[in-house]
Amino acid sequence: MGPAGPTLPQVSQNELQAMAYTDQLTGLGNRYRLRDKVRLLAGERAADPAPFTVAIVNLDGFKPINDLFGSVAGDEILCQVAHRLKACVPDGATVTRHDGDEFAIILPLVFERLGAERTGQMIKDVLSAPYDLGDRNVRLSASLGFAVYPFAGADFEELMKSAETALYRSKRRGRGQITVYSREIAQEMKRATQLEQALRNAIITDNVDVHFQPIVSLADNRVLGFEALARWNDPDLGFVSPAIFVPLAEERGFIDMLSETLLRKAAEATLAWPRELFLSFNLSSAQLMDPRTASNTLSILSAVGFDPRRLELEITETAVMTSADTARRIINDLRQAGIRISLDDFGTGQSSLGRLRDFIFDKVKIDRAFVSAISTDRTSEHIIKAIVTMCEGLDLEVVAEGIETASEAEKLRRLGCGMGQGYYFGRPADAAATLRYLDTHHHEFALVERASA
């Protein structure tokens, strides 16, 4: 019989249990520790149900940093987050790593909404300081969701579901938000889910429509093109504003499906227009993060038989900066195919001039906030004049949005603005009404129509 192999160290039952309850990366407790602590605290307070609070903390924008700098850097940030949370939470609190870039905190001495919000603000501030990765610093924000026992749930599963609902609402509202669960918030999230399902069905059944608003030459009011705008009139919900359903499609991850459907319908309608008229169409921030956007767009145009040189794609500064490198590649691919790119809502971003330097655009759209104030506010007038002068130097076309009166149109024309759009020239209308508009406002189209009649 040969010599026995090396003796493995014996692991005690307590050590095994500790390992099962510990997150190996950060040394914090894991979800099992969280569950047992919550159940223990709820049991202690069952007879006299004094409240306590559970928080979920989610890092905003962690995945791009992980992708950019690698998983080692990502793990280092998670360990630094764990250290900061342990150092800043109140006495008696328990910090656990909930899942991935989420952490959960049990707060035994936080009893109500205001206390939760104060704690949330403190945690948010602590986590927003730069993270040291040796050769570089990285900044992150955090979103938080709170649930107060027993109002938001009398058992662990229900309480955590409420905290997740609150966190989800925070993420929907943008980065660095704090939400404390309430019945009103639960109803709001339920309505959003019902709206999402109705919108998905409307897209599948082709019930989301496209309307068109004219863009004209301010020199002679000649129609140059139309902007395509999404419209949804649901049989049960009635008219739903695009300001509601477009962001919803972005948040829930099906904006590409919505946008591609609308582009196809818009391009098909445009085939009946005079060939010199262009179609302007909006791209979302999600599409400027998707490398497939350029090929998908060109594939739709090819299938419809629409000349890419007649298409202008409108993008916002915020959308461009969400993922700048990917956006730059997409814009370059689209422009190489002959598609023109327009910077929408100009003047409302934080560094619009920088965007004009970093990206190649063909057109700038002056935001309606400046246009609506042009007759009463000399500052807005000077800003518009400066934008027009700058765009002339950069060889960019300019469109003013939201023109509602003849005096606004005339003042913009005198300032040198080339194009305009707004209710003064025409409200958004469906494809059939747009053809009637062209019959009245576009001389060549009217002659052709009458000759074929």
pLDDT in tens, 299-330: 999 999 999 999 999 998 777 766 678 888 99
- pLDDT tens-digit series, residues 40-76: 999 888 777 789 999 999 998 888 777 778 888 899 9
Domain contains 5: no
Counting every residue, how long is the chain?
453
Asked if 271 and 217 touch (Cβ cutoff 8 Å), the reply is no
Please indicate, yes or no, whether residues 149 and 196 belong to a single structural domain of this protein: no
R_g (Cα) of the chain, nearest Å: 28
CA distance 190 to 165: 10
Last residue of a domain, one of 152, 181, 210: 181
| pLDDT top residue among 376 and 131 | 131
In this prediction, residue 56 carries a pLDDT of: 97
Token pair recorded at residue 2: 């040969």
Domain contains 401: yes
Last residue of a domain, one of 181, 209, 237: 181
CA distance 303 to 268: 10
In this prediction, residue 64 carries a pLDDT of: 77
* Edge-to-edge strands, sheet with 94-99: 94-99, 102-107, 52-60, 141-149, 178-180
Q: 19 pLDDT exceeds 80?
A: no
Please indicate, yes or no, whether residues 136 and 202 belong to a single structural domain of this protein: no
Q: Tell me the CATH number at 423.
A: 3.20.20.450
Please indicate, yes or no, whether residues 212 and 156 belong to a single structural domain of this protein: no
Of 149-158, 250-259, 341-350, the poorest mean pLDDT is in 341-350
Q: Tell me the CATH number at 94.
A: 3.30.70.270
Please indicate, yes or no, whether residues 221 and 138 belong to a single structural domain of this protein: no
Asked if 105 and 92 touch (Cβ cutoff 8 Å), the reply is no
Q: Which domain holds residue 259?
A: 192-452
Last residue of a domain, one of 146, 181, 216: 181
Please indicate, yes or no, whether residues 168 and 201 belong to a single structural domain of this protein: no
Please state, for a pLDDT cut of 70, what percent of the chain lies above it. Answer: 91
Confidence of residue 121 (pLDDT cuts 50, 70, 90): very high
Please indicate, yes or no, whether residues 215 and 147 belong to a single structural domain of this protein: no
Q: 220 pLDDT exceeds 70?
A: yes
Q: How many domains does the chain fold into? A: 2
Please indicate, yes or no, whether residues 295 and 403 belong to a single structural domain of this protein: yes
The CA-atom distances, in angstroms, between 74 and each of 66, 138, 199 are 5, 11, 36
In this prediction, residue 216 carries a pLDDT of: 96
| pTM score | 0.71
Confidence of residue 448 (pLDDT cuts 50, 70, 90): very low
Please indicate, yes or no, whether residues 166 and 295 belong to a single structural domain of this protein: no
